[in-house]
Chains A and B, each alone.
Chain A
């Protein structure tokens, strides 16, 4: 992107570089930026200007998605700190976490067999949410004013967060299926 500077997403949105983000402020900055740079504002401009506007609007969208989501925001902060986090290869020795994971996964696979499947699933989803909230709080402590050890620890928390997110996605899919089955009692594939 020759000639156009690339500030960090925090700079772009005029927010302090921190894990704690003022969501209302982020939202309004996002709208402000897009109001100026969105391709709709450049429909009648020259080709180069239109291309640059698409690049800028793309970056604003990407920045918004990154800063909005704790998991992506946490990873981005590590990236800015120069730490390569590759979740595929990272492992944990936290046995409590591993047990909890296995237990939740098993509980999820037994939902359909439960007398009240919706209630059973609701309980699991609440537990996942509690864990995610807890990890969120841990991240705030680790990522702001962090030293090297804190950053390494944050990497592990992010990996755990990723696990719970996947579990949450599976739970949501199951919830959708259960709701669909209630709408079509005859059952469908």
Chain B
């Protein structure tokens, strides 16, 4: 009998059944979707043959939102209702956004839980909703091209995104009706795209300068394992800043005043961008814009002049590069290759500075705009279970330290930056007043010692602590970071053993019920019955659970199960299979839970075997053959 590897539970029994999966690069300026077809990862184009989808959404009154090029075309005429660069707002609070205010033309209003909403002619929308519109557009493109419903996607995020920004991205995926298999760091995705092609080994650096964010990651490649050693970056630094510096130069030259209208500023930004792009291949470019008195102003810009404007921005990327090398414990001489990612790495000055810093010629073979989406597609294909024999594994890290506020506004770090995920760490705290029954916890992320200099992630209260003298209670707070880099916090009072429940209120995020409400209201799901969607979700879940169990039983059922337990599991599986084709999603959910309860002993025994086998240095299948 052919036995399945226990380490590959995702393996499909029907080897030719290909699960539709896609990788999505949700970018500041442009977004892409890619998929592995006939063994090749490639970006997918829309009906007009365009691959890049401008990350722009326009909201007009009484019309469905417009996404992409059509929205971008309207940006100059209708700047207030045309949302661009929304990635910069993801996971941000209203205060952060006001801080960015001078750079963004939109009207912000405070939503519930401190989340900013953008006021548009089509209603108030959150950054998560805007991102969900972009994702929906990409999902539709992929489903049309691939000819079926997507089973799962991998969405990329900047490595330096904090917890709130990651959570917001995952929420956007959910809102777009996507099954998000994994959030993948952009540089890691790029390394994957390169690594598999070249079969390279050793330490590599990925330098990722996009429209709005900068990331640097140092990875070690060894026999298919991509281990991220460190990551650093700046979430508010990118090609847009070069455009802005250039636009300011034009304004100075053309004597255009700062208070020129939004449309005029948008136009200037567009001209600046065009000039920047032209200078990647030309030595000089001529610029024409409407001057302050309405008559056109014409000027010329050389590549050297532009380099002088961009140099301070490019130099700002070198600090994080040094920090990443230091955190990785490697020197620039150890770096075997530098992979370039993001459209802004086309700027000649960027390539020069990077070559100089790492003393290596940067790799630019794969289109820097597409490399992230291609890597994400490869990972999505693996995670969906389409490549059961693939040895590729990504081991990623959290970019920023996670901690708790302690007395005096100081931060106690619980999980340090660049810790490999998944990761967990527990810390004990105590009460400081007699009879104290509650304790408030403030979770923050960042490297600074003062709470005010870090990002606030969540505040919550631990209640029902039994009254004791000060210092007697022992409260263990556990931070668990999953493979997506998302944090879960639990707290337990140890002397009584009572596990107190805590409610996490995301500082700037959405609660589950808010997402649920949005899903119900969202335009993307207009005409889509909520119960029908729930039913479909539960059916997909039921199929996944049944399939995983079937593979597990085939591999280990005879070895690990007694007659009675086997009968119990089979009965529960048959019950689930029977109601799976029904229309009651609650019944399916209950049957899944019943099956998982019936098979929990079996699953634990298999995991024990699995870890023992891994410790012994063998795959389980080796024992049997």
Q: B383 near A: Cβ within 8 Å? A: yes
Set A29, A38, A46, A64: member contacting B549, Cβ < 8 A: A46
Task: Spot the interface stretch: B73-81, B239-247, B279-287, B612-620.
Answer: B612-620
When the two chains form their complex, are residues B393 and A35 in contact, meaning their CB atoms are under 8 A apart? yes
Question: Do A12 and B615 contact each other (CB < 8 Å), given the known contacts A48-B596, A58-B480, A183-B319?
Answer: yes
- How far apart are the CA atoms of A35 and B419 in the complex, in Å? 18
The 0/1 profile, CB within 8 Å of B marked 1, for residues 153-189 of chain A is 0000000000000000000100010011001100000
- How far apart are the CA atoms of A38 and B390 in the complex, in Å? 14
- How far apart are the CA atoms of A14 and B420 in the complex, in Å? 21
Chain B residues within an 8 Å CB radius of A58 = 422-424, 480
Q: B98 near A: Cβ within 8 Å? A: no
Chain A residues within an 8 Å CB radius of B7 = 35-37, 41
Task: Spot the interface stretch: B297-305, B335-343, B540-548.
Answer: B540-548
Q: A11 near B: Cβ within 8 Å? A: yes
When the two chains form their complex, are residues B394 and A56 in contact, meaning their CB atoms are under 8 A apart? no
Q: A83 near B: Cβ within 8 Å? A: no
CB closest residue in chain A, given B549 = A46
Chain B residues within an 8 Å CB radius of A14 = 615-617
Task: Spot the interface stretch: A1-9, A113-121, A133-141.
Answer: A1-9
Task: Spot the interface stretch: B115-123, B166-174, B601-609.
Answer: B601-609
When the two chains form their complex, are residues B391 and A61 in contact, meaning their CB atoms are under 8 A apart? no
Chain A residues within an 8 Å CB radius of B315 = 183-184
Q: A54 near B: Cβ within 8 Å? A: yes
Question: Do A32 and B617 contact each other (CB < 8 Å), given the known contacts A58-B422, A62-B424?
Answer: yes
Q: Give the distance to chain A from B616, nearest Cβ to Cβ, in Å.
A: 8
When the two chains form their complex, are residues A3 and B482 in contact, meaning their CB atoms are under 8 A apart? no
- How far apart are the CA atoms of A32 and B323 in the complex, in Å? 29
- How far apart are the CA atoms of A34 and B393 in the complex, in Å? 8
Q: B421 near A: Cβ within 8 Å? A: yes
Q: B114 near A: Cβ within 8 Å? A: no
Q: Give the distance to chain B from A83, nearest Cβ to Cβ, in Å.
A: 19
Interface residues of A in 28-59 (CB under 8 A from B): 29, 31-49, 52-54, 56-58
Q: How many pairs of A and B residues are in contact by the CB < 8 Å rule?
A: 139
Set B181, B482, B608: member contacting A5, Cβ < 8 A: B608
Q: B8 near A: Cβ within 8 Å? A: yes
When the two chains form their complex, are residues B548 and A39 in contact, meaning their CB atoms are under 8 A apart? no
When the two chains form their complex, are residues A3 and B548 in contact, meaning their CB atoms are under 8 A apart? no
- How far apart are the CA atoms of A39 and B393 in the complex, in Å? 10
CB closest residue in chain B, given A57 = B422
Q: A65 near B: Cβ within 8 Å? A: yes
When the two chains form their complex, are residues B319 and A44 in contact, meaning their CB atoms are under 8 A apart? no
CB closest residue in chain B, given A48 = B603
Set A44, A56, A61, A183: member contacting B548, Cβ < 8 A: A44
Chain A residues within an 8 Å CB radius of B423 = 58, 61-62
Interface residues of B in 575-625 (CB under 8 A from A): 596, 599-601, 603-608, 610-611, 613-617, 619
When the two chains form their complex, are residues A3 and B323 in contact, meaning their CB atoms are under 8 A apart? no
Set A37, A41, A45, A64: member contacting B611, Cβ < 8 A: A37
When the two chains form their complex, are residues B608 and A48 in contact, meaning their CB atoms are under 8 A apart? no
CB closest residue in chain A, given B612 = A5
When the two chains form their complex, are residues A3 and B605 in contact, meaning their CB atoms are under 8 A apart? yes
Chain A residues within an 8 Å CB radius of B37 = none
Chain B residues within an 8 Å CB radius of A5 = 608
Q: Give the distance to chain A from B28, nearest Cβ to Cβ, in Å.
A: 25
When the two chains form their complex, are residues B385 and A44 in contact, meaning their CB atoms are under 8 A apart? yes
When the two chains form their complex, are residues B483 and A54 in contact, meaning their CB atoms are under 8 A apart? yes
Chain A residues within an 8 Å CB radius of B614 = 32-33, 35-37
Q: Give the distance to chain B from A174, nearest Cβ to Cβ, in Å.
A: 12
Q: B364 near A: Cβ within 8 Å? A: no
- How far apart are the CA atoms of A11 and B222 in the complex, in Å? 23
CB closest residue in chain A, given B605 = A3
When the two chains form their complex, are residues A2 and B604 in contact, meaning their CB atoms are under 8 A apart? yes
Chain B residues within an 8 Å CB radius of A12 = 615
When the two chains form their complex, are residues B607 and A34 in contact, meaning their CB atoms are under 8 A apart? no
Q: B278 near A: Cβ within 8 Å? A: no
Chain A residues within an 8 Å CB radius of B421 = 61
- How far apart are the CA atoms of A14 and B384 in the complex, in Å? 32
Q: B395 near A: Cβ within 8 Å? A: yes
- How far apart are the CA atoms of A37 and B322 in the complex, in Å? 33
- How far apart are the CA atoms of A7 and B611 in the complex, in Å? 10
The 0/1 profile, CB within 8 Å of A marked 1, for residues 315-356 of chain B is 100110011001000000000000000000000000000000
Q: B410 near A: Cβ within 8 Å? A: no
Set A7, A40, A65, A180: member contacting B394, Cβ < 8 A: A40
When the two chains form their complex, are residues B603 and A49 in contact, meaning their CB atoms are under 8 A apart? yes
Question: Do A36 and B613 contact each other (CB < 8 Å), given the known contacts A42-B9, A43-B385, A56-B607?
Answer: yes
The 0/1 profile, CB within 8 Å of B marked 1, for residues 10-26 of chain A is 01111000000000000
- How far apart are the CA atoms of A32 and B616 in the complex, in Å? 10
Interface residues of A in 45-89 (CB under 8 A from B): 45-49, 52-54, 56-58, 61-62, 64-65
When the two chains form their complex, are residues B383 and A40 in contact, meaning their CB atoms are under 8 A apart? yes
Q: B10 near A: Cβ within 8 Å? A: yes
When the two chains form their complex, are residues A48 and B604 in contact, meaning their CB atoms are under 8 A apart? yes
CB closest residue in chain B, given A54 = B422
When the two chains form their complex, are residues A41 and B10 in contact, meaning their CB atoms are under 8 A apart? yes
When the two chains form their complex, are residues A40 and B420 in contact, meaning their CB atoms are under 8 A apart? no
When the two chains form their complex, are residues A43 and B422 in contact, meaning their CB atoms are under 8 A apart? no
Chain A residues within an 8 Å CB radius of B544 = 44
When the two chains form their complex, are residues A45 and B322 in contact, meaning their CB atoms are under 8 A apart? no
When the two chains form their complex, are residues B318 and A183 in contact, meaning their CB atoms are under 8 A apart? yes
- How far apart are the CA atoms of A24 and B617 in the complex, in Å? 15
CB closest residue in chain A, given B220 = A27
Q: B276 near A: Cβ within 8 Å? A: no
When the two chains form their complex, are residues B9 and A35 in contact, meaning their CB atoms are under 8 A apart? no
Question: Do A61 and B10 contact each other (CB < 8 Å), given the known contacts A2-B604, A38-B393, A49-B548?
Answer: no
Chain B residues within an 8 Å CB radius of A42 = 9-10
Question: Do A45 and B393 contact each other (CB < 8 Å), given the known contacts A3-B601, A58-B423?
Answer: no
**Given A34-B225, A44-B548, 15 extra CB contacts under 8 A:** A3-B601, A3-B605, A4-B604, A4-B607, A14-B617, A33-B614, A36-B610, A41-B8, A43-B152, A43-B384, A49-B9, A52-B603, A53-B607, A61-B419, A65-B419
Chain B residues near A (Cβ < 8 Å): 7-10, 152, 181-182, 222-223, 225, 227, 312, 315, 318-319, 322-323, 326, 382-385, 391, 393-395, 419-424, 480, 482-483, 544-545, 547-549, 596, 599-601, 603-608, 610-611, 613-617, 619
A-B contact pairs, 6 of them (CB 8 A): A33-B615, A36-B7, A36-B613, A43-B152, A61-B421, A62-B424
